[in-house]
Structure 1
Amino acid sequence: MTGPGELPELRALYGTEPLPSLDTCDFFHVHVDERGSSVTFGFETARLPPHPEPQWAAGPYNTLRFWVEFTGVSGLRMAGIVAEPERGVRITAAAPDRLEVAVTGGRREISFSAEASRVAHTRVYLRGSL
């Protein structure tokens, strides 16, 4: 099981530098898979890792997207569907083999318990300015 805030796949990219805080990353995706009892969150950050994947050298980029999959999910609660820029993401160890996950905002909340978490996918791209 991955401890709260320590995702080995991100740790490999960032090395000894602090990982991006999930509270400051753009939270752009939620997928609930009831067949596999999993929930996947998508985040993106402009804080690029110092140890990029070799295939990322093919072109310019300024944004890292990563998807965190939580498996063995139980006790899923969701309220509201409005995307909110102001929200908090909390992952805490609830027991030796469980994580408590919560994303809360003014009008939205997602919470559940999970057995494990992992970074399921990473992608870099060049995000233009608005």
Structure 2
Amino acid sequence: MSARTGLAALYEVPPELGSCDLYDVHIDERDTSVTFGFETASLPDHPLPEWGEPGAAYNTLYFTLVFTGVRDLRISGIRAEAEHEVRITGTAPGRVEVAMAGGTRSIRFSAAGSRVTRVRVGLRGAP
């Protein structure tokens, strides 16, 4: 990728997290991290050359968002839902508050940092 990192290197305006499908949540108590796996049909403005042509080679983008230095983790409900709202706000110096909520579940925590990892493309079948 270019000097810009994560989704900023791929998009002029990255998709809103609430518009992306959440397909995975991983909580690692040893590393005090939380990882969200997202999928979006909003294709990048600046795709990597090795991905090939959109449409034939891919029609969806997958990425993970890893939060590190997690504290005050609260989880309610475990049912997967398509509809969700994601809020990431700055709080105390060097920390962000993360809240994801759907109709029957919510995950909230404070994190020291975050980064986008494992960006890849794939073909998703028609619904």
Same-fold call, TM > 0.5? Answer: yes
Which amino acid letter does the alignment assign opposite residue 48 of structure 1?
A: L
Query: Which consecutive aligned stretches of 4+ in structure 1 deviate over 4 angstroms post-superposition?
Result: none
Q: State the Cα deviation string for residues 48-68 of structure 1 (Å, max 9, x = none).
A: 111112221286100000000
1:41, distance to aligned residue in structure 2 (A): 0.1
Helix, strand or coil for the counterpart of 1:85? coil
Cross-structure match for 2:118:
121
- Structure-2-length-normalised TM-score: 0.90
| Cα distance in structure 1, aligned partners of 2:34 and 2:48 | 25
Deviations 1:63-84 (A, max 9, x none): 0000000000010110100011
CA distance in 2, matches of 1:10, 1:42: 14
CA distance in 2, matches of 1:109, 1:128: 28
Residue number in structure 2 paired with 1:70: 67
2:97 to 97, 100, 123: 100
Gap regions ≥5 residues in structure 1: 1-6
Give the paired residue count: 122
Equivalent-residue separation in structure 2 for 1:82 and 1:107 (angstroms): 7
Q: 1:42 aligns with which of 37, 40, 45?
A: 37
Distance 1:74 1:54 in 2: 39
1:81 corresponds, among 49, 57, 78, to 78
State how far apart, in whole Å, the 2-side matches of 1:73 and 1:55 are: 34
Which residue does the alignment assign to 1:20? 15
How far the C-alpha of 1:96 sits from its partner, in A, is 2.2
Which 5+ residue runs of structure 2 have no aligned equivalent? Answer: none
Q: Give the CA deviation at 1:87.
A: 1.5
Instruction: Decide which of 25, 30, 35 is 2:25's aligned counterpart.
Output: 30
Larger RCO: 1 or 2 (CA < 8 Å, sep 6+): 1
Task: Find the aligned partners of 2:29 and 2:113 in 1 and give their Cα distance.
Answer: 16
Where in structure 2 are the equivalents of 1:1-12 lying within 5 Å? 8-12=5-9
